[in-house]
A = this chain, B = another copy of it.
């Protein structure tokens, strides 16, 4: 992968002087068009060999363009707020919104490569991390992010020469430390691992571009032109999304049985409810207070269900059992302006709990494959790919220490009608029933199909769905509490 970047590419002063002003103006214009259109963000990942001009190039891009619309982020050691959340959280929080250019130094590639070089992970570990990255980047691209990946390269000889030069100059001596020379000794391993990382993560969506870093003029013009070219191409596509190949819609699948074969007659008496509620709430309370155990974990609970299926009541039986200081309920409504400027999972990532905390989602990222699918708010290709994107998201949370419990609350159409009517009569429940609820009711069958597909495709061993027969509220609440407690205890 590095062959072409060891040829000794050079650009003369004259050529540079002629090309730079034009490039600069064109970049500024493209940046302006990007900011005006606000249709997609640009994300540039910067990697490569020390001394190959990564920092210099980024500074130059900031100088050439308007730094007010560029956000440059360097990722060193994670802060404690970052360390206590899934690994990818820190990158999600720094994604550029539509219309902006984000530059990431030391992106999600750093940790996998460095830990393989130092022997802290094996080939299989590296492979797993790279696969995760491929899926993440595919998702970002599908969400419209223009992703550019620049790798600045120096041959071993060039790097040594560069470090010597920096050391000689009193003004740059500080940049070369013992740490850097120690790293230099690992040049060959680093090269080998990097090459593999680049190869396995280069694809049509987001190929790596290796840029020879020895000559500042060459590398600057190259990076600038690559960026300009990519921005112009994308800006010319007036509607990127609609031009993409559409995945054909799913054929009708006859697995409606999943919801229809539920035993909806299950119920428990008030007496049994009272004792069971106390029992499971007590156990949940103890578990959530167990500092030693819960410090290593977080709890993510999510509730989906037919309208009026009793999500709110169930959530209150959970929050009633734990200290208000440790949970947060996130009611999911229409996304805000800042959320709409990001990939759809961004607004859920931002609420990922720290260890020792509980986040309860009242409706969730599954809106993508439920309401957005049924109402046609996103294209078929978008909700089709969402299944695997969601599985990836949940896997990352679980690997970050989260216990993820997902509940689908099912009621019959008759029970729903009964509850709607009742709610309209009860003063302090009046807000729970809206015009939209009546509209949704008419699409009962389409929702049923969407629910079955969702459960089939996203119920995994690490984050399984629990379908709750919610015709009886007592039964519902106890089943949910019991499920959570048992999942937590199994993780002990």
Residues of A within 8 A of B (CB): 25, 28-29, 32, 35-36, 55, 58-59, 61-63, 66-74, 79-81, 103, 105, 174, 289, 312, 315-316, 319-320, 323-325, 327-331, 336-338, 362, 427-428, 430-431
Whether A68 contacts B325 by the Cβ 8 Å rule is no
Closest 7 CB pairs of A and B: A74-B325, A68-B331, A72-B324, A337-B337, A28-B428, A67-B319, A68-B329
C-alpha gap A71/B338 in the complex (Å): 20
C-alpha gap A429/B427 in the complex (Å): 59
Minimum C-beta distance from A313 to chain B (A): 11
Minimum C-beta distance from A230 to chain B (A): 19
Whether A72 contacts B312 by the Cβ 8 Å rule is no
Chain B residues with Cβ below 8 Å from A289 are 174
**Known pairs A63-B316, A105-B325, A336-B336 / 16 extra A-B pairs, C-beta < 8 Å:** A59-B323, A59-B324, A66-B312, A67-B315, A67-B316, A67-B329, A68-B312, A69-B331, A72-B325, A72-B327, A73-B325, A74-B325, A79-B81, A80-B80, A336-B337, A336-B338
Q: Which residue of B lies closest to A291 (CB)?
A: B174
Chain B residues with Cβ below 8 Å from A336 are 336-338
Chain B residues with Cβ below 8 Å from A174 are 289
Partner of A431, one of B36, B79, B81, B320: B36
Chain B residues with Cβ below 8 Å from A32 are 428, 430-431
Whether B63 contacts A320 by the Cβ 8 Å rule is yes
Interface core residue of A68, A324, A336 (most chain B CB under 10 Å): A324
Chain B residues with Cβ below 8 Å from A59 are 320, 323-324
Chain B residues with Cβ below 8 Å from A331 are 68-69
Chain B residues with Cβ below 8 Å from A430 are 32
C-alpha gap A328/B330 in the complex (Å): 30
Q: Which residue of B lies closest to A68 (CB)?
A: B331
Chain B residues with Cβ below 8 Å from A68 are 312, 315, 329-331, 362
Q: Which residue of B lies closest to A74 (CB)?
A: B325
Chain B residues with Cβ below 8 Å from A431 are 32, 35-36
C-alpha gap A312/B65 in the complex (Å): 11
C-alpha gap A103/B80 in the complex (Å): 24
C-alpha gap A69/B312 in the complex (Å): 12
C-alpha gap A330/B69 in the complex (Å): 8
C-alpha gap A324/B62 in the complex (Å): 7
Whether A324 contacts B103 by the Cβ 8 Å rule is yes
Whether A427 contacts B325 by the Cβ 8 Å rule is no
Interface core residue of A55, A105, A289, A431 (most chain B CB under 10 Å): A431
Chain B residues with Cβ below 8 Å from A36 are 431
Minimum C-beta distance from A484 to chain B (A): 16
Minimum C-beta distance from A81 to chain B (A): 5
**Contact of A63 with B319 at beta-carbon distance under 8 Å, contacts A25-B428, A32-B428, A68-B362 already known:** yes
Minimum C-beta distance from A402 to chain B (A): 19
